Amino acid sequence: MEPIKETPKTKVKRGPKRAVFDRKVLYQILDEVRISHVGFAVDDQNFVIPMLSWRQGNQLYIHGSRGSRMIKALTEGANCCVTATIVDGMVLSKSAFHHSTNYRSAVVFGQFRLVDDPTEVNDTLKAFLDGIAPGRWEEVRAPTEKELKATSILAIELEEASVKVRSGPANEDAEDFDLPVWTGEMKLKQSMIGMVADDNNQPAVKTPNYSRAWN
């Protein structure tokens, strides 16, 4: 797998030690995050919109209502910035100043393209749904022509990206070492915590187990 190339835009100026060029790390972040924040401008106004996102190969996909302002701007080639962030923990230091956060983040620059090949649309919608609930694509009613027309799928190539990872303890000052203050990491994690059936279920239908998508 090719390492991520550094460009003037992606060069990490703050905390350069945290920069990561391993494409596998970029892929892991995008696979785990589920929601990316897409930044773009319309008439000089910035917008940052949370979008479900999923990765296949070297592309990140999103979908939305065909007529929306955002989908219009993005399909017209707006330069955008897509950011995915996972917080792994709060880093507690002996001094207020050296508190920090352990995180993994990816900032992707580029332009989205409209996915208009029917095979790519079908394959990527299957990958999207199965990534959330493995096997579900085969269980549910497939999209109709009309439903597919109402939805736009967009993809961005993972070409220009800035990936940062922080892990480990706080960077204590030497003179703080002897302070009797607990230091360590407060671990955070997003988990799937349960399946809640709604009223539309037939009594005979059992709750499926999709937990393997959510280790």
- Match 């460009």 to its residue by tokens: 7
Task: Single out the residue of 21, 83, 120, 157 in contact with a copy of itself (rule: CB under 8 A).
Answer: 83
CB of 68 to a copy of itself, least distance (A): 5
Q: What residues between 7 and 26 interact with a copy of itself by CB under 8 A? A: 9, 13-14
Q: What angle do CA 37, 34, 188 make, to 5 degrees?
A: 95
104 and 188 in contact (C-beta within 8 Å)? Answer: no
Which tokens in the block code for residue 134? 């493995």
**Segment interacting with a copy of itself (CB under 8 A) among 22-30, 47-55, 111-119:** 47-55
CB of 60 to a copy of itself, least distance (A): 14
190 binds a copy of itself (CB under 8 A): yes
174 binds a copy of itself (CB under 8 A): no
Using the minimum distance from each CB to a copy of itself, give the nearer residue, 2 or 80: 80
Which tokens in the block code for residue 131? 């990534």
Report, in angstroms and rounded to the nearest whole number, the Rg of the chain calculated over CA atoms. Answer: 21
Instruction: State the virtual CA torsion across 122, 125, 126, 129 in degrees, nearest 10.
Output: -160
158 and 58 in contact (C-beta within 8 Å)? Answer: yes
x/- mask, a copy of itself, residues 107-126, rule CB under 8 A, reads x-x---------------x-
Task: Single out the residue of 5, 7, 24, 99 in contact with a copy of itself (rule: CB under 8 A).
Answer: 99
